[in-house]
Amino acid sequence: MKRLNLFFVVLLMVLGCAAIAKAEDVVYLKDGSIIHGTIIEEVPGVSIKIQTNDGNTFFYKTKLITKITHSTPDESANQDQSGDNSGAVVTPRQSNLSNVFTSDPNASFSEFSLFGGVGISTMGTINTFNNDVLTPDYGSDYDLSPLMYSGNFGLGWFTNHIGLKWTLTYGVNVSTYTYGDTYYNETDFYVYEYGSELELDLSLDDVQTCKTRPNARRVMSVYLPLIAGYWDVNVENNYTTYVYSGTCTDIGSGIGFRAIGDDHLMLDLQFIYRYAFGNPLEYNDQANTRTPISSTKYLDADVTGFAMNFDIGFTFN
């Protein structure tokens, strides 16, 4: 009988220890996660550190926590099955937290960029060409299309509230030739432009950081571009093989939108207006002599007009 009593006493002690061992701290986070384990460190009102049953240790600020309870795994399982805390698995939730970015007004960034893009623009040379040169002499069938189509590439540096860019641009515009109701898809006149511009951006930046990835940054910017550039403008005529060439300088401004991702991809959309100070277009075989392009019509190199540019690039620190 004594041996039997001793056996029950030992059994009760073992069961009691097992019950104690199974007791858990349960941390409920505001994002819906439930973390089971043992709280090994706590700074009241500031943070806690909890060790999970699989040996992982996690650190949470108090402001991320909804509540902390003491329960057994069975109770936690019942809560999970109720649907209130579905998917409360520590590892997946922690993985999701690694992609949560929040705005940080104290964060700074400094990124260099290599980018390229495409654009469309109106152009003072085209307007003058259509209105004062071609239309009176040849008719609207020879008019240039109203837009220049361009490609560019450049270098940039961006930091809080400031950006610098250097861009090289190549643009082309062609006329269409029609005869009666037939479209021959032939080209009589070309306008080419080659430009180099420096740009200063004054920006409002939203810098976002990630709690679990200290070096990760995302930046959203709205900026005011201040632009100055130098352009070479050429007009070519296929029939006479004349090439008229002139240069101009320009200044411009507008508005831009830029996004830099944590994967170092940069997207930049810009709307600007340029004002050009043009020089006469001169026939390339008669330097310093102003030669009329058609009859007595003269034309100035001029990139005055609106432009829209879209750039894609990559940044690096």
Domain boundaries along the sequence of the chain: 2-97, 110-316
Asked if residues 120 and 150 have their Cβ atoms less than 8 Å apart, the reply is yes
pLDDT tens column, 263-285: 999 999 999 999 999 888 887 66
The whole-angstrom separation of Cα 55 and Cα 279 is 75
Residue 23: pLDDT over 70: no
Q: List, in sequence order, every beta strand (DSSP E) within 279-317.
A: 282-283, 305-316
The whole-angstrom separation of Cα 122 and Cα 305 is 5
Q: How does residue 183 score in pLDDT terms, banded at 50, 70 and 90?
A: very low
The structure's pTM equals 0.65
Higher pLDDT, 36 or 79: 36
Of 158, 253, 267, 269, the C-alpha closest to 207 is 158
Residue 35 main-chain phi, psi, to 5 deg: -110, 120
Alpha carbon 290 to its chain's center: 46
Considering 50-64, 121-135, 247-261, the range whose residues carry the highest mean pLDDT is 247-261
pLDDT tens column, 195-232: 999 999 999 999 999 877 778 889 999 999 999 999 99
Q: DSSP H helical segments within 227-313, as ranges?
A: none
Of 270, 274, 313, 309, the C-alpha closest to 156 is 313
Residue 84 pLDDT: 47
Asked if residues 113 and 158 have their Cβ atoms less than 8 Å apart, the reply is yes
Residue 43 pLDDT: 81
Residue 286 pLDDT: 54
Residue 11: pLDDT over 70: no
The whole-angstrom separation of Cα 293 and Cα 283 is 8
Give long-range contacts, CB 8 A cutoff, 24+ apart: 54-58.
54/90, 56/90, 58/90, 58/94
Higher pLDDT, 106 or 86: 106
Of 317, 305, 309, the C-alpha closest to 123 is 305
Q: How does residue 22 score in pLDDT terms, banded at 50, 70 and 90?
A: low
- Give the lowest-confidence range in 3-7, 88-92, 150-154, 289-293: 88-92
Percent of the chain whose pLDDT exceeds 90: 37
Give long-range contacts, CB 8 A cutoff, 24+ apart: 184-189.
187/238, 188/142, 188/237, 188/238, 188/239, 189/129, 189/134, 189/142, 189/144, 189/235, 189/236, 189/237, 189/238
Residue 297: pLDDT over 90: no
Asked if residues 129 and 140 have their Cβ atoms less than 8 Å apart, the reply is no
List all residues 6 or more positions away from 163 whose beta carbon is below 8 Å from its beta carbon. Answer: 156, 157, 199, 200, 201, 203, 221, 223, 258
The whole-angstrom separation of Cα 245 and Cα 42 is 76
Which of 3.30.360.10, 3.40.50.880, 3.30.70.20, 2.40.160.20 is the CATH number of 110-316?
2.40.160.20
Q: How does residue 135 score in pLDDT terms, banded at 50, 70 and 90?
A: low
* Average pLDDT estimate for 163-176: 89
What one-character-per-residue DSSP string does 65-110 give? EEEEEEE-HHHHHHHHHTTTTTT--HHHHHHHHTT-EEE-TT---E
Residue 64 pLDDT: 85
How long is the chain?
A: 317
- Give the lowest-confidence range in 180-184, 187-191, 196-200: 180-184
Mean pLDDT of the chain: 79
Residue 258 main-chain phi, psi, to 5 deg: -130, 140
CATH of domain 2-97: 2.30.30.100
**CA contacts within 13 A on the Cβ side of 84:** 9
Do the domains 2-97 and 110-316 sit in the same CATH topology, yes or no? Answer: no
The 10 Å CB-count burial string (b at 16+, else e) for 77-91 is eebeeeeebeebebe
Residue 174: pLDDT over 80: no
Residue 269 pLDDT: 97
